[in-house]
Structure 1
Amino acid sequence: MARYIFITGGVVSSLGKGLASAALGALLQARGFSVRLRKLDPYLNVDPGTMSPFEHGEVFVTDDGAETDLDLGHYERFTGVAARNTDSISSGRIYSNVLEKERRGAYLGKTIQVIPHVTNEIKDFLRQGEDEVDFMLCEIGGTVGDIEGLPFFEAIRQFTHERPRGECILMHLTLLPYLAASGELKTKPTQHSVKELQSIGLAPDVLVCRSEHPIPEKERDKIALFCNVRPDAVIPAYDLKSIYEAPLAYHGQGLDQAVLDAFGISPAPRPNLARWLDVQDRIHNTDGEVRVAIVGKYVQLEDAYKSIKEALTHGGMANRVKVHVEWVDAEDFDKDDVGERLGQYNAILVPGGFGERGTEGKIKAAQFARERKIPYLGICLGMQMAVIEAARNAAGIEKAGSEEFDHEAGAKRFEPVVYHLKEWIQGNQTVTRKETDDKGGTMRLGAYNASLKEGSRVAEVYGSTRIAERHRHRYEVDVKYREKLENAGLCFSGMSPDGRLPEIVEWQDHPWFIGVQFHPELKSKPFEPHPLFADFVRAAVENSRLV
């Protein structure tokens, strides 16, 4: 039976609950425990799949096809435990489940209320898989006091009350603001945040206090006294140069020990931190640096490409170089010269996206990388734009484009070498989709197998001709153009097992030019960099030496 750690936040949002949760999970693993991490989000969307990247940042996709919060990416990157559909829940999904049950008559005519029906649904979610691990870490989105989060806090109160004593603890993150005029760290916001928790029947066992300045011992004692926690359970959380320093930093401040003490686990197993010492060494002891341009349409919000940025960092660690990621707005190429902007980089990456805006700039970026022999990695839409560029400029299909753009404009303007994916095989079943279907959850989602061409670059990179990668897309390169494109030199080096869906393309006469329909960044970890990103950064290093 799992022990539960509930992670909440107060004072302000974006304090780093997800990072603290991930780091704690990694530290518990280092002590020999098994963990699973979950996210409970109060928003009313069923999942983040239909939310704009400007609203929510990246949508993280699991192997089993769930569209989830980007914090699950942190959980995977720090623990290596593959997230599942059962690891992410929102208020929208909770209410949707309750209302579906009510329509089926599952409640036998009772009046449906937040308590007990909504809170019971949340508790049922928390119990899933509890016999599989030693610790279940559950992060609650938002801050204490948010009206939409109240059902989750009430469910946690009930849950901890119903479990045997010592099986659940609460870890609360707060902010200690610094007033420069008086030269003081102020503890009052933390006190009020804890008081808000106590008013709904919850009390923290561990307090993690974000601060830009050292927290004096007397201030820690004051927080412990007024918030009713042990002094050694008040854990400072300072700003770090890299998020991958967090496990060692939190261990140094005693977070994992405070958590084990709260559970009464004594003596605590000694931690093996060799993995994180190696990660830290690779971050800080580099042999060079490279510059990589990410040509995208959501570059104003870096969280929209969170996993890509982290995967590039991992690729740098694999090669012991620092990767400087620079964001380039694809729309700028409508008016700027591509060469002036992209000629200064050692490699170019074009990520995924939806809609026509910025696509001509991405096509120009792919053309520039192809013609100038600059390493290029196209992901999802980035692969499709590379194929369209090849069709227009190498295969003689002048009006090559995507059905997505015609559908968006309501007029036929292109010859669609990229079309709306209407049917594919998932396991032993055929999945069908129509353009008129609801947007939520109707893409090709989750892990799918692919077969790689022997002797191709990607087969060499993976060291295998069979792979499984995660997808998230509605549009696909039309295989009927394969022969014409391959005659022009673009190799279809990865296909779905049935040979119907192109998964990977590469230019054979190019030092490193690969486009993939899937999202390899979702499976990269600091201690296990994804092979595509590791080799992409290696190619960038080679290119930097040629300049």
Structure 2
Amino acid sequence: MIEKIAILGDFNPIHYTLHQLNNTTRDVQKVLKKEIQFDWISTDIFDARIVFEKQDYKGLWVAPGSPYKDMNGVLNTICYARENNIPTFGNCGGFQHMVIEFAQNVCGIQDAGNEETDPTSPDLLIKKLACSLKGEEEILNITEKNSFLYQILKEDTLLGKYHCSYGINELYINKLRDHGMVFTSISEDGNHRSFEITDHPFFVGTLFQPALTSTLEAPNPLIIEFVKKSLKI
């Protein structure tokens, strides 16, 4: 039986970043020499209980592409995956919504919001960046040597490529840290670009998009590790 990984997102063919994500799923299968079914499921129809309990998907990839059709649906799905130890990987908008879900349900910040979709929220965990990162790249320092990020890459730095204009509000970093979120990379100007939760099989968010630095010959190792954790290989 072919094993399956769910991609939570609203695929839009005009975005080259989503095509690159699809390309990477094919490249990973070649490297692992294993047929894997990666299925896009729209945010407005994604039912976590059906997807993971009845349809037996093994992992959750929260794709870029916000604002999503159903933000609450995305947050509920992330919550389900986090609480049920389903390997979860989120990039760009996925990163943003993983942060918001954690803030709401773990930190108790009920009004945690995203400036892109709810600019009047009293707790903007995700805010507009001072400088847009659309089409940009930067060198990031890996700050946690015990992290998945460092163990996978085995490097002190990484190249992050982006297609976003919103990132984490640094004012909430300590609050998130106090409740178990570990920030794993930082930009030269002091902004956090990735996180993980250590008591979870794989719950990793990156503001950068690993698929954009992935190639046919060398698929991004973070994506490979997410797939391995999902399929337990």
Normalising by structure 2, what TM-score? Answer: 0.90
Which residue number in structure 1 is paired with residue 229 of structure 2?
Answer: 539
Which residue number in structure 1 is paired with residue 11 of structure 2?
Answer: 298
Which residue number in structure 1 is paired with residue 112 of structure 2?
Answer: 400
Alignment of 1:65-144 (within 5 A): none
Aligned AA for 1:353? G
Which residue number in structure 2 is paired with residue 511 of structure 1?
Answer: 201
Aligned AA for 2:4? R
Alignment of 1:455-474 (within 5 A): 455-474=146-165
Aligned AA for 1:531? P
Aligned AA for 1:492? F
Q: Is the 8 A contact 1:450 1:497 kept in 2?
A: yes
Aligned AA for 1:338? A
* Larger RCO (alpha carbons 8 Å, 6+ apart): 2
2-structure distance, mates of 1:443, 1:449: 13
CA apart distance, 1:444: 4.2
Q: Is the 8 A contact 1:443 1:474 kept in 2?
A: yes
Where structure 2 has 5 or more consecutive residues not aligned to the other structure, the ranges are: none
Q: 1:416 to 1:302 in 2, by over 3 A?
A: closer
Alignment of 1:123-522 (within 5 A): 289-298=2-11, 305-333=18-46, 337-343=47-53, 344-355=56-67, 357-407=69-119, 412-423=120-131, 443-452=133-142, 453-499=144-190, 501-522=191-212
Q: Is the 8 A contact 1:402 1:417 kept in 2?
A: yes
1-structure distance, mates of 2:37, 2:14: 17
Structure 2 SS opposite 1:384: helix
Aligned AA for 2:124? P
1-structure distance, mates of 2:14, 2:83: 30
2-structure distance, mates of 1:476, 1:350: 16
Normalising by structure 1, what TM-score? Answer: 0.40
1-structure distance, mates of 2:42, 2:68: 14
Q: 1:451 to 1:302 in 2, by over 3 A?
A: closer
Aligned AA for 2:125? V
Counting aligned pairs with the same residue, the percent is 25
Measured against aligned partners, the alpha-carbon deviations of 1:380-418 in whole angstroms (never above 9, x if no partner) come to 0000000000000001101101011124xxxx1451000
CA apart distance, 1:472: 1.3
Structure 1 SS opposite 2:117: helix
Q: 1:301 to 1:369 in 2, by over 3 A?
A: farther
CA apart distance, 1:338: 2.2
Q: Number of matched residues? A: 230
1-structure distance, mates of 2:228, 2:133: 33
2-structure distance, mates of 1:507, 1:454: 14
Structure 1 SS opposite 2:110: coil
CA apart distance, 1:482: 1.1
CA apart distance, 1:460: 0.7
Q: 1:308 to 1:505 in 2, by over 3 A?
A: same
Structure 2 SS opposite 1:467: strand
2-structure distance, mates of 1:392, 1:420: 19
- Of Structure 1 and Structure 2, the greater helix share is in 1
Q: 1:307 to 1:418 in 2, by over 3 A?
A: same
2-structure distance, mates of 1:463, 1:374: 25
